[in-house]
Amino acid sequence: MPVITNIDDLKRLHRKRTPKMFYDYCESGSWTEQTFRENTTDFDQIRLRQRVAVDMEGRSTATQMIGQDVAMPVALAPVGLTGMQRADGEIKAAKAAEKFGVPFTLSTMSICSIEDVAEHTTNPFWFQLYVMRDQEFLKNIIQRAKDAGCSALVLTLDLQILGQRHKDLKNGLSAPPKLTPAVLADLATKWTWGLEMLGTKRRGFGNIIGHAKDVDDPSSLFKWTAEQFDPRLDWGKIEAIKEMWGGPLILKGVMEPEDAIMAAKTGCDAIVVSNHGGRQLDGALSSIRMLPAIMDAVGDQVEVHLDSGIRSGQDVLKALAMGAKGTFIGRAFIHGLGAMGEQGVTKALEVIHKELDISMALCGRKSVEDLDRDVVLVPEDFTGRWA
């Protein structure tokens, strides 16, 4: 058993053990990947203030996100095709999250279906919705999430059309993979993945297959999104979905203060400052850079969460210190899953928790609720002067 001390260790194992097509899907941004890169490098620009002679006993990272108790304010983000990183991946990740005490968010584009994840877990999870053109499908999937007892709907606002990630096109990404000579050669070195996949029936888009009509090629994410996703999503439709759902709502993918104001006006429970992990609009600023402006615009009206770029507990601490009430991790837990299944997701959460707890203590704070702007040193020009 290798000694895992950080998320990069899990990432290396993920790469070694998972078919290239799925590792690349996880580790890609759109076009030049500038935004994808800056999401992480911008976190590095923020430094921490070391404080001493503060009693550190009795620390806690526990708090709430949208009024729900969490062991630390780190939710598992919705990630498409998670069940291709490892057989039954969504069920494994959801189990790890519930044991740890953090929210798990199931993607619309998951491999395991809503019902399947509900059947294999006991705590309610969150469901992420992509809005489809087919109204019947939309109503139906919202009802399915309600029936499964999902405790929040995470509505993604930044993916009516899919950003281009070059590697996915070159690799011929599909679920399940098409067994071309290149894929077969790759699988020859990933036999545990293959054996586990042979042992499960969950190898296609579980929320879609059997539920949506007129699908040309149900294995292709590109065709799916192009044919089915509703490019007409606007604030009116968001209101309608809020009504249809009737429960806690999180609006994900907000990057501009004007949009944050519109989002807060819907009466949603939280917004997520996110550029979709740099997978949509390349050239957008990192989400951590946009956080201060969004806090100024709506911080007193709605709970603000952040994702995109978080790879450590120190990143979580920085986001919280700058005003976020919660964070989401995507790649960081997928690396764990691809490396070691459920145990790897638990490991990723443990790594992040330990980094958050120790950093918080060395900054002289005993609770995540006490983290504020005084904990961090932010370069004067961090948010930048843009015309």
The residues annotated with a catalytic role in the active site are 276
Q: Per the structure block, which two tokens stand in for 139?
A: 């109503």
Q: Which is nearer to ligand GLV, 156 or 346 (CB)?
A: 156
Residue from 148, 108, 156, 196 nearest 276 by CA: 156
Look at phi and psi of residue 18 and say left if phi exceeds 0, alpha if psi is from -120 to 50, else beta: beta
Q: Per the structure block, which two tokens stand in for 143?
A: 């009802």
Q: How far is the CB of 81 from ligand GLV (least distance, A)?
A: 7
Cα–Cα distance for residue pair 72/310, rounded to 1 Å: 14
Q: Which is nearer to ligand GLV, 80 or 83 (CB)?
A: 80
Q: Which is nearer to ligand GLV, 80 or 313 (CB)?
A: 80
Cα–Cα distance for residue pair 63/54, rounded to 1 Å: 21
Annotated ligand binding at 330? The verdict is yes
Q: Which is nearer to ligand GLV, 82 or 327 (CB)?
A: 82
User: For ligand GLV, which residue has the nearest CB?
Assistant: 80
Phi then psi dihedrals of residue 251, to 5 deg:
-100, 120
Q: How far is the CB of 169 from ligand GLV (least distance, A)?
A: 13
Q: How far is the CB of 215 from ligand GLV (least distance, A)?
A: 16
Q: How far is the CB of 80 from ligand GLV (least distance, A)?
A: 3
Residue from 325, 287, 286, 301 nearest 74 by CA: 325
Annotated ligand binding at 80? The verdict is yes
Cα–Cα distance for residue pair 199/208, rounded to 1 Å: 21
Annotated ligand binding at 310? The verdict is yes
Annotated ligand binding at 247? The verdict is no
First-to-last CA distance in the chain? 52
Distances (CA, A) of 348 to 116, 305, 341: 23, 20, 11
Annotated ligand binding at 23? The verdict is no
Q: In the block, which residue shows the tokens 């702007």?
A: 373
Q: Which is nearer to ligand GLV, 32 or 192 (CB)?
A: 32
Look at phi and psi of residue 66 and say left if phi exceeds 0, alpha if psi is from -120 to 50, else beta: left
Residue type, 116: D
Residue from 172, 193, 169 nearest 181 by CA: 172
Q: How far is the CB of 138 from ligand GLV (least distance, A)?
A: 17
Annotated ligand binding at 107? The verdict is yes
Q: In the block, which residue shows the tokens 């956080």?
A: 291
Annotated ligand binding at 309? The verdict is yes
Site for ligand GLV, rule CB under 6 A: 80, 109, 276, 279
Binding residues for FMN: 78-80, 107, 128, 130, 156, 252, 274, 307-311, 330-331
Binding residues for glyoxylate: 25, 165, 276, 279
Binding residues: 25, 78-80, 107, 128, 130, 156, 165, 252, 274, 276, 279, 307-311, 330-331
